[in-house]
Structures are given as C-alpha cells and as structure tokens.
C-alpha cells in the first residue's frame, strides 16, 4: 500500500484495475468521463478500453464480456443510464458470470446535466444492488467490493458517486502494483436456458431476484461501509446521511458531542437490520441526502413496518431543500435547526460590494460553432424558422448575441423535435443542430425516421471532429480508438446518403459568405437535407496570428461584438480591442466588419 493524490474518478478506475478489471467501456459525460480516461492511461495492455457510440452499446458490450467471466465496468453519467436502461432492465433478470459494475455518476445541482435524477431510485426500480461512496478513499475501496458482490450474486451492480466525489481530489491509500488482483475469464459457456430471455425464464428470474435482495439486505447490514454510530450527546436524536453529505455532516458536528449517525453506503437493497438498530435508539431523525429522499422513505417505511414511534424528517417534511446540491453550509444550517441550536451566522450581502461581472459559459474564441450559427442566422433572417439544438458545446449557441437555440431536450432529440414542429407548422423552416459525436450517439435513428416519414427539415451537423464538451474524446468519425488504433473514419456524409438524405452539403463555416449561400440554397429544397459544417475544434488546433484592428478604419461601432459575442474581442479604454491571449485568428470578425477594419491570418 502507498499514498497517491487522486481525483475521485481516477481512484475509481485505479480501484477497478486493482480488482482485476478486464474490460471498461462507456460514453463520455460529466462528471463520469475521467474514470474511463484514467483506465486507458493506466492500461498496460491487460485490459480492453473503449469509448462506445453510446451508453446502450457500452452496456451491452460490458454484459457480453461479463457473460464470459470477465470483470467489466461500464461508465456513464446519470442521463446516460436512461439511454442504457433497455439492456439494463433485462440484464438484471439474466445476470452475469464475471463481476460487472455499472458506474453511473449523478450530478446534484445539477452542475452540468439536464436532470437531477437519482440512480439510487433507478437501482430500486431495476432491483439492482447499488453502492454510494462518501469520499475518494471510499470510492477506491468500495469498487473492489462492488465487483466481489456482483460476482458472488451473479448480478450487475450499480456504483453511483456524485460530482463532488467524482471531481474531488484526496491523498488516498492505494495498492502497490504487486498487490493487484488478476482475473482470468473462463470464457462463454453456451446455455440458452440461461442467456436467452423468455417470459417463463423472466418469471423465475424475478422470483430469484426478490429472494436474493432479501439476503443481500441482511448482508449489507454487516457491510463495513454502512455505519451506525450511537449518540454521543445523550440525546435520542439521529442523523441519517449518505455520499458527500456525510462529510458535510461530519464537518458540522466536528468537535461537539454528536447525535446518533447512520451512514448508508448501499441504499439498495436497504440494510434494514442496521437501520433498525439506529431507529430504536432515537425519537427523531433528520435525513440529509442529495437528490431523492431515498433514505428518508426507507426509514419512514421501517417505522411503519415495525411500529416505531420515530419522527423522520427531511425533504418529504420540508425540513431540507428538495432540489440542488448540499453544501457544508446547508448541512450545518439544517442540523442546527434540527437540534434547536443557534443558526451559524450568515452575513447579509454587503451593500458596498461593487456589482460583479458575470462570466457565463460561452463558446470559445475561434469556435467554429459560432460561425455556423451565425451563417444560419444570416441566411434565415426575416423568415419564419425554428432552430432545435442539442447536447454539447453548441448548446451555448443559445447565449446572446447568437440566440440560436430554440429547444434542447436530450441527446439527439432535436432532429425529431424539429420534425414534429414541422408537421404542425408546415410554414416554418425547421432546423436541427447536432454535433458529430452526438450524431453518432443518437441522431442517426432520428434522421432515418425523418427521411422515412417525409419530414421537411434541414439537419445541420456541427462537425468539429471531436467530442469537445467532455474533453475531446475520440468517436467513430475521428479514426482513433481508445486502444490507440488508427481506424477508418466513418463518414457522416456517407451515413446520411446511406439513410436516404439526398442533399448533403459540406462547407467550412469560417468561409462565411459561402456558408450563408449554402444554407440558403439547401434550406430552400423540400424533404430532409443536411449541411455539414466542418471545421476543427478551436482548442485542438494551433492558433493562427491574432486578428489586427486598423485604428484608422475602426469606428468603434462594436458591430463585431454585437453580432458575434466572441471573447476574443473586448472593449478596452473605450476602444474595440483584440484580446491577444484568446484570439485564434479564425477570421470570422474580419468578414463581419462593415468597415473592413479587421484583418486576420486565417481567411483574409
């Protein structure tokens, strides 16, 4: 054993590798991405690593490996589990041979997600065991346990850290290379009665699952990371908590005699016996947890089942906020209110404080998406149009002054949302914007649907040749895999032609005039047509010389700023100025300036 300073996600990957991992796959998504990236970085040739095309593909791949007796891990963010839920629900019935951990990172806040869904609730719904670590160290330690339980009970298990555990760093104790476990898969053994799902098999499997979960609940009551600490303050009050909130509770109670504490690391199946010991020691409980009131509901249920006169408080009783993430401060506040203590003093905002500049996330200087949105905006000026966006950097096209995202729902949704709008409002020019990685992940089916069902729309592919938002992962169009192979790039153009899109135009959005003309020409046609705006992500290319503003010609009209909102152009001492450190010389502003006052390396 030795100590290392690791990010939570890195600790999870290291823990899995040390537990004999054979295969890891997933789809990138904040806050889960670094798990797979770390595994790939640490791969000494012993494991197979893959960014799959989406979470459903990844889960099926992981299942196949586990059918062979491999230890497999599948990584995704919480909304990715929705995509993978079809194979997941069935796999819960079929089970596995080798250990299989489905790592789903939840995002209370949410900080960078569409929903505040709780994978613990999904665990109960799918009847799968769930592990919920409270710290980076515990994440490392528990991942090995997750594999062991999975193998012992022949079931996939869910492992759900939250953002603050995933992205927190800590000095943690990890195993030395020599202490690393290995797992030699026995291979796939043909057995249709086991691996082929049928109603009769499912009935029997359902019976087995329910019985297994009763056994597991008993076992989890003795699991080392589920902890009941009796009251040290002589009271009959208790706090039940989980995840990172447990550390907030510890911090709030540090140095004081504490009430009883129940820490739940396996929310499903719920460790009933352990919780009963806790409940019998108290008259009143405060539940501090993030996302759904999972522990609170379980404890309330147990009080009914066992006729315990204990008052359970939390989100359901409005003692704790229902949405958003907890903090040290919120936990301290809720605990003080519960214990009837004075509230920790919070300063009211200082009236003397000058107004702070807001720094919302924006498309980077030189981002080709800015040019793409601008080209479409110019081409459709004055026409009735709808612009359906999607998930990725380009969601930021919603910000002023571009203001080019009318809808955004989930991965790939824009294609058929715009189709739906067009069916009800045929006089609207319907656009769907989708990135290259998102196209492969979940827009191809939508495109087939639109073509087949005679939609009238323009599909705009923003192809920057990477998965930019999550940190530049490769995808089928990049010609690279996570095993380091150089493979044939899958052509978006060929895919679109293949599914029946007749008109597919490819244009560099930074050639503004040509881009605008392409949009006008393409959008005027009937049926489903596509424009591929192809230009690499600005973060990945060597920047060109920054733009130069000719002070003789510049009238300070700020047209460039008001049209484009590029962080590379600022006003300094009243003058429009190029921010040297940010400008990539993409040349878009030079093409927009009405006085031809800007020259830039790239285009002009």
Partner 1 sequence: MQTNILICGVGGQGIVLTSKLIAATAMAKDMPVMSAETIGMAQKGGSVFSFLRLGDDLHCPMFPEKTADLIIGFEPAEAVRMLPYLKDGGKIVLNTHPIMPVTAALSGTDYTGKEMIAYLQTKVQSLAMLDADAACKALGSPKVLNMIMLGAAIRQNVLPFTVEEIEETMRRTVKPQFVEMNSKALRYE
Give the binding site for partner 1 (CB under 8 A).
3-5, 30-31, 111-112, 135-136, 164, 167-171, 244, 247-248, 250-251, 254, 327-329, 332, 344, 346-347, 350, 352-354, 356-362, 364-365, 400-401, 539, 558, 561-562, 565-567, 569-572, 579, 581-582
Give the separation between CA 139 and CA 141, rounded to whole angstroms: 6
Give the containing element (helix H, strand E) for 423.
Answer: helix 414-424
Is the preceding omega at residue 103 within 30 degrees of 0, hence cis?
A: no
Give the separation between CA 49 and CA 594, rounded to whole angstroms: 51
Task: Answer for the pair 462, 387: CB distance below 8 angstroms, yes or no.
Answer: no
Residue 311 or 556 with smaller CB distance to partner 1: 556
Name the minimum Å distance from CB 160 to partner 1: 18
* C-alpha radius of gyration, the chain, whole number: 27
Best CA proximity match to 366, nearest among 153, 529, 601: 601
Could you give the angle at which helices 444-452 and 414-424 cross, rounded to 10 degrees?
Answer: 20
Residue 93 or 246 with smaller CB distance to partner 1: 246
Give the separation between CA 542 and CA 426, rounded to whole angstroms: 44
Name the minimum Å distance from CB 364 to partner 1: 5
Residue 487 or 570 with smaller CB distance to partner 1: 570
- Kindly report the number of other CB atoms within 10 A of residue 410's CB atom: 15
Q: At which residue do the structure tokens 């991965």 appear?
A: 411
Residue 277 or 565 with smaller CB distance to partner 1: 565
Name the minimum Å distance from CB 589 to partner 1: 12
- Kindly report the number of other CB atoms within 10 A of residue 60's CB atom: 18
Residue 135 or 522 with smaller CB distance to partner 1: 135
Name the minimum Å distance from CB 202 to partner 1: 39
Task: Answer for the pair 520, 596: CB distance below 8 angstroms, yes or no.
Answer: no
Residue 240 or 528 with smaller CB distance to partner 1: 240
Best CA proximity match to 9, nearest among 37, 43, 29: 37
Name the minimum Å distance from CB 544 to partner 1: 17
Residue 184 or 580 with smaller CB distance to partner 1: 580
Residue 160 or 511 with smaller CB distance to partner 1: 160
Name the minimum Å distance from CB 232 to partner 1: 16
What does the DSSP 8-state code read for residue 24?
A: E
Give the separation between CA 5 and CA 71, rounded to whole angstroms: 26
What does the DSSP 8-state code read for residue 97?
A: S
Pairing of β 569-572 and β 575-578: antiparallel
Name the minimum Å distance from CB 582 to partner 1: 7
Could you give the angle at which helices 294-305 and 119-126 cross, rounded to 10 degrees?
Answer: 50
Name the minimum Å distance from CB 161 to partner 1: 13
Pairing of β 260-263 and β 227-229: antiparallel
Q: Largest Cα–Cα distance in the chain?
A: 85
Residue 155 or 473 with smaller CB distance to partner 1: 473
**How many degrees, rounded to 5, is the angle at CA 556 between CA 555 and CA 562?**
125
Name the minimum Å distance from CB 154 to partner 1: 36
Half-sphere exposure of 213 (CA within 13 A, CB side): 23
Residue 319 or 579 with smaller CB distance to partner 1: 579
* Residue 151 dihedral angles phi and psi, to the nearest 5°: -70, -40
Name the minimum Å distance from CB 387 to partner 1: 20
Best CA proximity match to 509, nearest among 375, 391, 400, 390: 375
Structure tokens at 139: 């994440």
Residue 345 or 484 with smaller CB distance to partner 1: 345
Q: Per residue in 233-242, is it b (16+ CB within 10 Å) or e — as a string? A: eebebbbbbb
Residue 379 or 589 with smaller CB distance to partner 1: 589
Give the separation between CA 188 and CA 217, rounded to whole angstroms: 30
Residue 178 or 254 with smaller CB distance to partner 1: 254
């Amino acid at each position: 054993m030795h100590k290392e300073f690791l990010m939570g996600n890195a600790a999870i990957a290291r823990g899995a590798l040390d537990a004999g991992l054979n295969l890891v796959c997933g789809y990138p998504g904040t806050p889960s991405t670094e798990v797979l990236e770390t595994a790939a970085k640490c791969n000494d040739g012993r494991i197979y690593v893959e960014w799959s095309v989406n979470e459903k593909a990844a889960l099926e791949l992981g299942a196949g490996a586990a059918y062979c007796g491999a230890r497999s891990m599948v990584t995704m963010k919480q909304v990715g589990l929705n995509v993978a839920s079809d194979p997941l629900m069935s796999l819960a019935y079929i089970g596995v041979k080798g250990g299989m951990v489905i790592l789903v990172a939840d995002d209370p806040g949410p900080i960078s997600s569409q929903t505040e869904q709780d994978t613990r609730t999904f665990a109960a719904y799918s009847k799968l065991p769930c592990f919920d670590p409270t710290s980076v160290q515990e994440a490392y330690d528990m991942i090995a346990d997750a594999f062991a339980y999975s193998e012992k009970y022949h079931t996939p298990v869910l492992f759900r850290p939250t953002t603050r555990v995933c992205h927190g760093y800590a000095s943690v104790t990890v195993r030395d290379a020599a202490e690393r476990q290995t797992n030699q898969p026995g291979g796939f053994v043909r057995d249709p009665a086991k691996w082929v799902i049928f109603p009769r098999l499912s009935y029997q499997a359902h019976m087995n699952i329910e019985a297994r979960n009763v056994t597991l609940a008993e076992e989890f009551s003795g699991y080392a990371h589920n902890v009941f600490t009796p009251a040290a303050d002589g009271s009959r009050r208790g706090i039940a908590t989980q995840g990172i909130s447990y550390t907030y509770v510890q911090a709030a109670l540090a140095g004081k005699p504490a009430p009883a504490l129940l820490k739940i690391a396996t929310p499903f199946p719920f460790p009933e016996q352990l919780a009963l010991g806790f409940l019998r020691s108290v008259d009143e409980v405060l539940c501090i947890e993030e996302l759904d009131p999972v522990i609170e509901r379980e404890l309330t249920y147990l009080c009914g089942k066992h006729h315990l006169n204990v008052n359970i408080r939390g989100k359901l009783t409005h003692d704790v906020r229902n949405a958003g993430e907890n903090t040290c401060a919120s936990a301290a506040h809720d605990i003080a209110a519960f214990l009837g203590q004075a509230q920790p003093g919070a300063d009211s905002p200082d009236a003397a404080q000058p107004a702070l500049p807001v720094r919302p996330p924006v498309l980077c200087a030189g981002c080709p998406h800015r040019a793409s949105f601008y080209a479409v905006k110019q081409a459709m000026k004055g026409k009735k149009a709808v612009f359906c966006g999607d998930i990725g950097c380009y969601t930021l096209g919603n910000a002023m002054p571009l203001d080019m995202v009318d809808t955004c729902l989930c991965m790939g949704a824009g294609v058929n949302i715009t189709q739906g709008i067009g069916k009800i409002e045929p006089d609207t020019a319907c656009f769907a914007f989708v990135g290259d990685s998102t196209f492969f992940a979940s827009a191809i089916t939508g495109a087939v649907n639109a073509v087949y069902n005679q939609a009238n729309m323009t599909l705009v592919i923003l192809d920057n040749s990477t998965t930019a938002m999550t940190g530049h992962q490769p995808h089928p169009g990049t010609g690279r895999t996570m095993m380091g192979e150089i493979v044939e790039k899958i052509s978006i153009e060929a895919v679109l032609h293949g599914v029946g899109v007749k008109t597919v135009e490819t244009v560099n959005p930074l050639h503004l005039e040509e881009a605008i003309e392409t949009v006008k020409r393409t959008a005027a046609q009937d049926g489903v047509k596509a424009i591929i705006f192809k230009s690499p992500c600005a973060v990945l290319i060597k920047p060109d010389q920054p733009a130069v503003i000719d002070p003789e010609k510049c009238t300070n009209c700020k047209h460039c700023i008001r049209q484009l909102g590029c962080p590379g152009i600022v006003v300094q001492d009243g003058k429009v100025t190029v921010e040297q450190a940010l400008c990539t010389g993409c040349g878009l502003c030079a093409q927009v300036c009405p006085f031809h006052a800007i020259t830039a390396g790239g285009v002009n």
